[in-house]
Structure 1
């Protein structure tokens, strides 16, 4: 039996199931191209290099090296470095959320198709069984073909709906795993950059002098936290 004949035997529910299969195929192909493009832009050595440059306080070199890069992790670090004098953590968090939105694009469609395709299959099954009982009640068992047509419709729609869901759930879990891994990497490097910047800031920017009155009424002398060569110990 040809595929087209099988499709017609499934009844009217096969048309929405066809739309579901088209939606799943489109989303899966689009996400595969997206992640392949993201992998081509990865620059792992630059991530570690940025942390080393940040540890040295060479912010200008960091900016120069990150401008042409399209790696999503590097972009998060670049935004944090750019806003280091304001709120590095919030800036990197906002950029990471923006990246996550790109990574999660169309995923709700895939999730919906996984849920709705089996339901449509069950709906077609019910319609097929109803059709079989109607034929059975009208003609008895004189013509078994009328009854088997409804049963065939029920089985075809059920198999089609389950097939679409099974095919869709594999890439859905794969893409979700890629998203979780990407979030983990962004959090890891963002945290490392915050730690490095905190240490650099603590070394290069001494705390303000303590000018509060001492308990005996005298003022404490300013304490310089930066030691210079030749300073008396």
Structure 2
């Protein structure tokens, strides 16, 4: 902890970045743990296939899962399910991406803040050298070491944020593919009864 305090005032914005990143990561982990609902999607598709569309709509509208909410839009707007699910899908993907721009900013900004802290520290070290000459080499080398703490802190914050960020991006891609798959199946399930009614 004492070593970190030697890194200079630039560690304050880095601390803010790290706290912000941790808050977003925790919120997104909780969000993604709640939304897995492929079993519920299968039940809803089975209900629609058995001509129990109203029951399926009631069940789907209670869910917090993006997948089920998209299916609910298709069931409620069964006249044009494709357009309804497409519009709902845009909203749900935006909800899944909430917070990710903040993480992306932290990943980009933290190393730059660390580098800026290092440059400021190096300037201070060179000023010490200019005032005292080389008679105090420990003061100069100590200043350089302290300056590098900011860079190390910035890179650490970026690395800690980068791993969850990449996981969340991959998870959103998987969820989007799952939504497209089940939306297509629902559309087929809604179209088939209409075709069967035609002479």
| TM-score (ref. length: structure 2) | 0.91
Q: Distance in 2 between matches of 1:148 and 1:11?
A: 15
Which aligned pairs between 1:15-94 and structure 2 lie closer than 5 A?
A: 15-39=12-36, 42=37, 44-85=38-79, 87-94=80-87
Give the count of matched residue pairs: 199
Aligned partner of 2:159 in structure 1 is 166
- Confirm or deny that 1:185 pairs with 2:178: yes
- Confirm or deny that 1:11 pairs with 2:5: no
Shift of 1:63: 2.5
Aligned partner of 1:114 in structure 2 is 107
Q: Which runs of 5+ in 2 are unaligned?
A: none
Shift of 1:61: 2.9
| DSSP 3-state at the match of 2:35 | helix
Is the 1:55–1:196 Cα contact (8 Å) retained in structure 2? yes
Shift of 1:88: 1.0
| TM-score (ref. length: structure 1) | 0.79
Greater fraction of residues in helix? 2
Q: Distance in 2 between matches of 1:19 and 1:122?
A: 16
Q: Which runs of 5+ in 1 are unaligned?
A: 207-225, 227-233
Specify the structure having the higher radius of gyration (Cα).
1
Shift of 1:46: 3.0
Q: Distance in 2 between matches of 1:118 and 1:196?
A: 51
Higher relative contact order (CA 8 A, sep 6+): 2
- Confirm or deny that 1:96 pairs with 2:93: no
Q: Distance in 2 between matches of 1:98 and 1:14?
A: 37
